[in-house]
Structure 1
Amino acid sequence: MSHITLIRHGQANSGARDEASYDRLSPLGHQQSAWLGAHLRERQQHHARLYTGTLRRHVETADAMDTGLTPVRDARLNELEYLTLARAMEDEHGVAFPTDSAGFTEHLPRLFRAWQNDEIAGAPERFSDFEARVGDALSEIAAGDGPALVVTSGGLISMAMRQVLRLDIAAMAQMALAIYNTSQHQLFPIGGNLSPTMFNAIPHLEDPDRQHARTHV
């Protein structure tokens, strides 16, 4: 079993209100990704394999990182469709779509609970199916040879942490809210199971002049 380093994509189009419009990096997102790639090269961190989801923001992040590895694209590593879920929640339950960060912080846990309980009829996939595909993908990657980089999204990373730490849905949502763009999260095999040894690390953004680049959305 090999260790996995999960990377959240760079800042995307945070002002979008639908999945397609959101799915591209902002100029800052490209810069964050390039800084992360440079950091990995400077520290000579060895990774034998690179995986990404098939979303544009995953591909652009991996390209900007310039790892020198040929990526494997796997749709099981794609993000949950939060914007689609939020619109369905609004239409079906009258829960207003959040318009600011405070509203988003309150909205996400509520949406996750409703999704887990199959209370959103218009969900593009069931919560249980999302959970299964994430577990299957990470199990297969861990069974491969050599350390792996996985470029994906915050919701998927929070699901991975839910699985390895046995988190309830409220804790999973709280974790998702905390995840920085281009942050690193490491899962290491211990006793035949993956265990978290790093969460939300952003050493490439530690310099004071990069404080503006520590973004969550």
Structure 2
Amino acid sequence: MPHITLVRHGQANTDARDEESYDKLSPLGHQQARWLGGYMQDTGDRFQRVYSGTMRRHVETATSMGAPEHAALVQDPRLNEFAYFTLSQLMEEQHGLTIPTEREGFVSHLPTVLGAWERGEIEGAPESYADFAQRIREVMEEIAAGQGRALVVTSGGLIGTVLRQTLALDVSGWAQMCLAIMNTSVHRWQMVLGRPLLTQFNSVAHLEDPARHHAQTHL
């Protein structure tokens, strides 16, 4: 029975305000990934297939985890994140929606941006929501059809969209999932009768030791 484990990348450049600047792990992000890789090693979590997006933060996370030691790393651009910084800038220019400067502000900002994107109300978006959702659906179906347990290192927005497709979430629920997903969190699906069944969400067991609580981050 196929199993798919999705991991969100480690903490990236939290001071960034554009796609390129954000796309690299912080020192803590590398440490989070090393802790996760060590935890999987200690618990006997083995994978026959390892995938990631082509973004720098995806590859750096997989490498710091030691994931390529399980199997050759397959980099697939269909596992890349949507351009949230760019969408936010376009929303500010076109609709006057101010970009927040603290995490609390994203609670209302994210669903507003995602809803406008889904409805096609953001002119010049790098990718339509329909194309984004379709590429995720296609790559997940291909991974699910493979043999052996699969590890996928990607981003929170993509994981949130897989959750949306699995659980039939509306925009509000989709945004809440995206906001909740922590850095290097683990999410598991099991294919049952050809359909994905969510079996684990947002696990950070590798960060539960009190000495590691500071590493439980969202951005």
Most deviating of 188-197 and 5-14: 188-197
Aligned residue number for residue 214 of structure 1: 216
Report how many aligned residue pairs link the two structures: 217
| Displacement after TM superposition at 1:134 (Å) | 0.4
Most deviating of 112-121 and 98-107: 98-107
1:15 aligns with 2:15: yes
Aligned residue number for residue 87 of structure 1: 89
| Displacement after TM superposition at 1:105 (Å) | 1.7
Rounded Cα–Cα distance in structure 2 between residues aligned with 1:60 and 1:215: 17
SS in 2 for 1:29: helix
Aligned residue number for residue 40 of structure 1: 40
Aligned residue number for residue 2 of structure 1: 2
Deviation per CA, 1:141-197: give whole Å up to 9, x if none: 000010100000000000000111111111000000000000000010112201100
| Displacement after TM superposition at 1:126 (Å) | 0.4
Rounded Cα–Cα distance in structure 2 between residues aligned with 1:92 and 1:4: 39
The one-letter code of the counterpart of 2:143 is I
The one-letter code of the counterpart of 1:86 is S
The one-letter code of the counterpart of 1:73 is Q
Aligned residue number for residue 75 of structure 2: 73
Residue segments in structure 1 that go unaligned for 5+ positions in a row: none
SS in 2 for 1:115: helix
Deviation per CA, 1:92-141: give whole Å up to 9, x if none: 10101111111122100110110010000121100111000000000000
Rounded Cα–Cα distance in structure 1 between residues aligned with 2:8 and 2:56: 13
TM-score computed with the length of structure 1 as normaliser:
0.99
Rounded Cα–Cα distance in structure 2 between residues aligned with 1:112 and 1:177: 12
Rounded Cα–Cα distance in structure 1 between residues aligned with 2:205 and 2:99: 33
The one-letter code of the counterpart of 1:154 is G
Aligned residue number for residue 61 of structure 1: 61
Aligned residue number for residue 168 of structure 2: 166
Runs of 4+ in 1 over 4 A off after TM superposition: none
Residue segments in structure 2 that go unaligned for 5+ positions in a row: none
Aligned residue number for residue 31 of structure 1: 31
Rounded Cα–Cα distance in structure 2 between residues aligned with 1:98 and 1:127: 22
Rounded Cα–Cα distance in structure 2 between residues aligned with 1:186 and 1:135: 16
Identity %: 54
| Displacement after TM superposition at 1:205 (Å) | 0.2
- Aligned Cα RMSD in Å? 0.7
SS in 1 for 2:14: coil
The one-letter code of the counterpart of 2:124 is G
Rounded Cα–Cα distance in structure 1 between residues aligned with 2:196 and 2:46: 19
Aligned residue number for residue 106 of structure 1: 108
SS in 2 for 1:120: coil
| Displacement after TM superposition at 1:46 (Å) | 1.9
Rounded Cα–Cα distance in structure 2 between residues aligned with 1:215 and 1:101: 11
